[in-house]
């Protein structure tokens, strides 16, 4: 294709997650945050000061956002979900913290997600490991460890103790 343009073949592989990873981890995490904000994109800010005014911009309809969120929730909670095994048993009861995720298998192992707590806290993360493995095999379990650590540090509610995990439907 032309310089700077993605060919139809490359787009086909990108949509299936089998091509080259042409995004940064910051872009992936911000995409998760946009979905978590119900389709409102907000430019990422990497410094706390000086404060930058970045008003959110609506980029997706409520129906499209709901469709994507439902699919991402199924990735975690449905037995056939690609990350179900990595999050079973669940870190939190679903009513306390709901997880939404997406696995990926590019030339890397990829998992991105967001966690929405019932108290309003929300956290988006992306894990990319430079290893040829499916996202559910390496990146998703590591993301689970990151989410647990975020709960222990107060960014999300305290996770349940191992062996005391609540079922996903509680």
- In this predicted structure, the answer to whether residue 39 has a pLDDT above a threshold of 60 is yes
Closest CA to 67 of 105, 100, 114: 100
For the ranges 9-13, 105-109, 122-126, the maximum mean pLDDT occurs at 122-126
Give percent above pLDDT 90 in the chain: 56
pLDDT, position 48: 65
Residue 113: pLDDT band with limits 50, 70, 90: very high
Query: What pairing do the DSSP bridges indicate for beta strands 122-129 and 40-41?
Result: unpaired
Q: For the chain, give the mean pLDDT.
A: 84
Specify the pTM.
0.80
Q: Are 86 and 113 in contact (CB under 8 A)?
A: no
Structure tokens at 6: 């993605």
Mean pLDDT of 66-72: 96
CA distance linking residue 109 with residue 139, whole number of Å: 6
Mark residue 39 as left, alpha or beta (left: phi above 0; alpha: psi -120 to 50; beta: remaining).
left
The CA-CA-CA angle for residues 106, 109, 110, to 5°, reads 85
**Burial tier of 91 (Cβ tally within 10 Å: 0-12, 13-18, 19+):** buried
Q: pLDDT (tens digit, 9 = 90+) per residue, 126-148?
A: 999 888 788 889 999 999 999 99
């Amino acid at each position: 294709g032309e310089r700077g343009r993605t060919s139809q073949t490359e787009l086909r592989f990108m949509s299936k997650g089998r091509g080259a990873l042409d995004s940064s981890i910051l872009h992936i995490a911000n995409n998760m945050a946009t979905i978590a904000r119900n389709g409102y994109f907000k430019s990422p800010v990497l410094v706390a000061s000086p404060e930058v005014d970045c008003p959110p911009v609506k980029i997706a309809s409520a129906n499209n956002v709901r469709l994507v969120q439902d699919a991402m929730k199924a990735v975690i909670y449905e037995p056939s979900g690609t990350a179900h095994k990595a999050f079973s048993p669940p870190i939190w009861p679903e009513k306390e913290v709901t997880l939404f995720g997406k696995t990926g298998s590019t030339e890397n192992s990829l998992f991105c997600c967001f966690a929405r707590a019932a108290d309003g806290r929300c956290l988006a993360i992306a894990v990319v490991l430079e290893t040829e493995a499916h996202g559910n095999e390496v990146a998703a379990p590591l993301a689970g460890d990151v989410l647990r650590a975020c709960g222990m540090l107060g960014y999300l509610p305290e996770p349940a103790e191992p062996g005391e995990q609540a079922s996903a439907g509680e």
